Amino acid sequence: MSESITPRILSIKNKLAYLKLMAALVRNLNYKETNEMIIETKAFFDTSSQIDIANKIDHIELNIEEMIGPILQRFPPKVSIANIATIFNNAYLENDQLFETGLTIGFLDNLMDLSAFKWYSDMPYQYRIAIGAHKGNGGIEEDFLLKDAFVFYAKAQRAYRQLLSHFDKLSKQGINISHPNYHDAYKGLVDLKYEVATYCRLTVISFFSFIESFVNSIGHNYILRFKSILTDKEILTLRGMHRDKEGSYLNLKQKIEKIHQIIRSDKKQIINLTDIAQQKEPFKTFFDYYEALRNASVHFSPEKENIWLGPEEWITKANSFCDLALKVGLEIWVACYPNSDGPAYLGKLNKEIHLKIAEKRLANIDVLK
- Sorted by sequence, the CB contacts under 8 Å of residue 240 that are 6+ apart come out as 216, 219, 249, 250, 255
Return the pLDDT at 207: 95
Contacts of 58 (CB under 8 A, 6+ apart): none
Question: Distance between CA 111 and CA 126 in Å, rounded?
Answer: 15
If DSSP codes are grouped into helix, strand and coil, which group holds residue 307?
Answer: coil
CA 50 to chain centre: 50
Task: Give CA–CA dist 357/361, Å, rounded.
Answer: 6
- What is the per-residue pLDDT for 113? 96
CA 146/CA 151 separation, integer angstroms: 9
pLDDT at position 300 is 46
DSSP state of 130: P
- What is the model's pTM? 0.88
Using 50 as the pLDDT threshold, list the residues of the chain that sit under it: 1, 300-305
Burial status of residue 118 (CB atoms within 10 A of its CB: 0-12, 13-18, 19 or more): exposed
In 3D space, the residue among 112, 87, 125, 100 whose CA is nearest the CA of residue 24 turns out to be 100
